[in-house]
Amino acid sequence: MRSEEFYIESFLEYLLDVRGYSDATVETYEIALRQMAEVSHFYEESGEWVLDITPFRFTIVKNSKKTIVKKLSAVRSFVAYLEDQCHLSVKLIADESIKVPQSLPKPIEERYIVEVLAKADLEEKLLISMLYGLGLRISELSTLKLEDIKENWIQIHGKGSKVRELPLLQELKRLIGLYRDSYVPKKYLFEKGNAPMNAAQLRYKLTKCFKREGLKATPHQLRHSFATHLLDHGARIADVSELLGHETMATTQIYTKLGSVKKMQEYMKAHPLADIKHHPSEE
């Protein structure tokens, strides 16, 4: 067995047994590393191991940028394992980063959300209003307990066990009150039987509600809409970042890019010169 094959086997076992990665995740790592090992050069030089993945980079050049990023990430994790766990000094060649273009989110226009809300039943109204009024993730709404809803604040348990407190709009307070009186939930805001409705159940209710009005919508789009519309109406990016539960403002800045694109489109439509079909002839 070649040295790189031995270390790859060892690394995969480490991911399974020590790091507790799922079989599917380890299989993804294995596919990338086997492909890398087939064409790359792994050798020792002057007391240091060298891993030259230049041929591997040529092999995967036609993959999507996201796939390339994932495969390079697997290689970097492997090298980190060699250095940290096997105490080898490894020089990685041809490890330049690939920039993945960030796709801009597509918010739902305010007027469409208002139209759907006007025709929704009580449960649908509350579902839409919680996602759009608070910018929640669908997973956060699914696990929202009644005890986390205070008089004027609501406590959200987000990613990485991080907790944030959000102010309750008067309309949301009114809807929550009506909903609790009608549906009498016991522990979670949205329940089915004695268990919370899961994300898939809530997502289905939401998409069905918008579909009735001929619109496609996802919970994530409503979260995007929450952020975009706040920024469009003058909210500070730092405040929106905090409301969304983002770790850094850099994550929130994608919405400012969206606002810039929208403003440019509106400018191109509104400017007097935009309507001129031809240049006036010079006299």
Q: How many CA atoms, within 13 angstroms, populate the side-chain half-sphere of residue 260?
A: 6
Gyration radius (Cα) of the chain, Å: 26
In single-letter form, the type of residue at position 58 comes to F
Q: Per the residue annotation, which of 57, 71, 125, 223 is the catalytic one? A: 223
d(CA 126, CA 141): 11
Q: How far apart are CA 253 and CA 260, in angstroms?
A: 11
Annotation says 255 is catalytic:
yes
Could you identify the residue written with the tokens 């047994």?
17
For the question of residue 34 being annotated catalytic, the response is no
Please say if 224 is a catalytic residue: no
Query: Whole-angstrom Cα distance, residue 61 to residue 199?
Result: 37
Residue 59 exposure: Cα atoms within 13 Å on the Cβ side: 16
Phi/psi at 129 (nearest 5 deg)?
A: -65, -35
Q: Is 278 considered catalytic here?
A: no
- Give the DSSP letter string of 64-116: -HHHHHHHHHHHHHHHHHHHHTS---EEEES----PPPPPPP-PPPHHHHHHH
Q: For residue 40, what are the contacts with CB-CB under 8 A and spacing of at least 6? A: 4, 51, 52, 53, 54, 55, 56
Q: Which of 137, 203, 224, 229 is catalytic?
A: 137
Q: Is 159 a catalytic residue?
A: yes
Say which of 159, 162, 174, 187 is annotated catalytic: 159
Question: What are residue 188's DSSP bridge partners?
Answer: 145
Active site residue 87: no
Q: Which of 255, 263, 269, 271 is catalytic?
A: 255
Contact 56, 35 (CB under 8 A): yes
Annotated catalytic residue within 180, 205, 220, 262: 220
Active site residues: 137, 159, 220, 223, 246, 255
